[in-house]
């Protein structure tokens, strides 16, 4: 699993930073999380194509999280996309999209499968063989959800040296992954435990969206390999964070610490800060494994 940051600013573009968007890439499948203004331009800049983009999640309907969506879906239609696109978003986004298409007398070249997010509730959005997508509620000025992406692992891990020692044919590896033993042509039984090891743990990434400091989300994001948490303000501006339903960098770090995650990416920075280093320092004092979600940055899990 790999995360590419396309936009890390809040509200408006500032100091070369753009409104929120990021791409989570799984083998053959990209998931976009939020789609602020200029997301298409950022996709071009960082070499993200829409061919693998099958899911778009919009956390809430503040403009800095979805104003790039109309342009992006129009481009995909102009370029003749035919594959269906899954859109998970607050229910009223469909009214906006329908109105836009209606006044332009436009029909999309591909089916848009819309899944409304249940205000104030958690829900499994997608349970595919290789991954799951599930949303959880956060606390913002309007209904807002975070997203958890879990990449499932495919069975037990093959031990190549052991398989070579026992001359196991490669065609049998899939059965070994499923936990089956191997019976040699002379009838000797080789136990699966000799040939494989436990499956690696599934990879988990959580996007915590725009939110007040909210320890209630910890159970949803527990033990993730990485989380992204908004860090709009510094501690000195904590009153503004509370007033506007946002978090400080130190609060984001406190959530990461409580959830026992491996890594914290911070973003959604206020345009009042040109230099982000002080925000990073405040977060690191609470949770050392913090990085700034840099635009164009690629984070492997």
Give whichever of 19 and 273 is closer to Zn ion, judged by the CB atom.
Answer: 19
Question: CA-CA distance, 43 to 49, in Å (whole number)?
Answer: 7
Query: Is 64 labeled as catalytic in the residue annotation?
Result: yes
Other C-beta atoms closer than 10 Å to the C-beta of 45 total 13
Shortest reach from residue 145's CB to Zn ion, in Å: 12
Question: CA-CA distance, 166 to 42, in Å (whole number)?
Answer: 51
Question: What string marks each residue from 226 to 265 as x (binds Zn ion by CB under 5 A) or -?
Answer: ----------------------------------------
Stretch that binds Zn ion, among 35-43, 145-153, 208-216, 231-239 (CB under 5 A): 208-216
Which positions from 73 through 102 interact with Zn ion, judged by CB under 5 A?
Answer: none
Close Cβ partners of 185 (under 8 Å, ≥ 6 residues apart): none
Give whichever of 30 and 210 is closer to Zn ion, judged by the CB atom.
Answer: 210
Q: Among all residues, whose Cβ is closest to Zn ion?
A: 62
The answer to whether 150 touches 132, Cβ cutoff 8 Å, is: yes
Shortest reach from residue 246's CB to Zn ion, in Å: 8
Question: CA-CA distance, 108 to 90, in Å (whole number)?
Answer: 20
The number of residues that bind Zn ion (CB under 5 A) is: 2
First-residue to last-residue Cα distance in the chain: 5
Give whichever of 176 and 208 is closer to Zn ion, judged by the CB atom.
Answer: 208
List the structure tokens of 87. Answer: 């859109």
SS3 (DSSP) at 88? strand
The answer to whether 251 touches 241, Cβ cutoff 8 Å, is: yes
Helices (H), 104-180: 160-165, 173-177
Contacts 24+ apart (CB under 8 A), 174-182: 179/155
Shortest reach from residue 290's CB to Zn ion, in Å: 21
Could you say whether residue 62 binds Zn ion (CB under 5 A)?
A: yes
Give whichever of 62 and 203 is closer to Zn ion, judged by the CB atom.
Answer: 62
Give whichever of 50 and 68 is closer to Zn ion, judged by the CB atom.
Answer: 68
Shortest reach from residue 210's CB to Zn ion, in Å: 4
The answer to whether 235 touches 282, Cβ cutoff 8 Å, is: yes
Burial (Cβ within 10 Å: 0-12, 13-18, ≥19) of residue 102: exposed
Query: How are beta strands 203-207 and 226-230 bridged, if at all?
Result: parallel
Q: Out of 210, 230, 282, 295, name the contact with Zn ion by CB under 5 A.
A: 210
Stretch that binds Zn ion, among 61-69, 91-99, 110-118, 211-219 (CB under 5 A): 61-69
Shortest reach from residue 62's CB to Zn ion, in Å: 3
Q: Exactly one of 64, 102, 237, 239 is catalytic; which is it?
A: 64
Shortest reach from residue 64's CB to Zn ion, in Å: 7
Question: CA-CA distance, 28 to 8, in Å (whole number)?
Answer: 25
Give whichever of 55 and 62 is closer to Zn ion, judged by the CB atom.
Answer: 62
Which residues are marked as active site?
A: 64
By CB under 5 A, name the binding residues for Zn ion. Answer: 62, 210
């Amino acid at each position: 699993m790999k995360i590419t940051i396309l936009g890390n600013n809040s509200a408006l573009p500032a100091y070369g930073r753009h409104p929120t968007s990021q791409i989570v890439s799984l083998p053959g499948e990209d998931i976009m999380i939020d789609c602020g203004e200029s997301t298409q331009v950022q996709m071009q800049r960082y070499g993200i194509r829409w061919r693998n983009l099958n899911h778009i999640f919009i956390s809430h309907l503040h403009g800095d999280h979805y104003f790039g969506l109309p342009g992006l879906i129009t481009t995909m239609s102009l370029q003749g996309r035919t594959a269906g696109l899954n859109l998970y978003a607050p229910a009223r986004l469909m009214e906006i999209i329908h109105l836009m298409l209606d006044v332009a007398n436009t029909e999309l070249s591909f089916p848009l499968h819309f899944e409304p997010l249940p205000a104030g509730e958690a829900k499994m959005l997608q349970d595919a063989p290789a991954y799951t997508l599930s949303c959880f509620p956060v606390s913002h000025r309007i209904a807002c959800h975070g997203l958890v992406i879990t990449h499932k692992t495919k069975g037990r891990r093959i031990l190549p040296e052991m398989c070579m020692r026992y001359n196991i044919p490669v065609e049998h590896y899939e059965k070994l992954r499923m936990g089956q033993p191997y019976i040699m042509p002379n009838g000797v039984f080789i136990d699966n435990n000799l040939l494989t090891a436990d499956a690696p743990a599934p990879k988990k990434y959580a996007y915590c969206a725009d939110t007040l400091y909210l320890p209630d989300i910890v159970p949803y994001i527990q033990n993730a390999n990485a989380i992204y948490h908004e860090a709009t303000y510094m501690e000195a501006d904590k009153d503004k964070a509370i007033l506007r339903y946002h978090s400080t960098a130190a609060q984001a770090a406190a959530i990461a610490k409580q959830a026992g995650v491996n890594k914290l990416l911070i973003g959604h920075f206020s345009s009042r800060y040109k230099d982000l280093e002080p925000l990073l320092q405040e977060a690191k004092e609470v949770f050392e494994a913090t990085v700034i979600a840099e635009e164009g940055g690629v984070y492997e899990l």
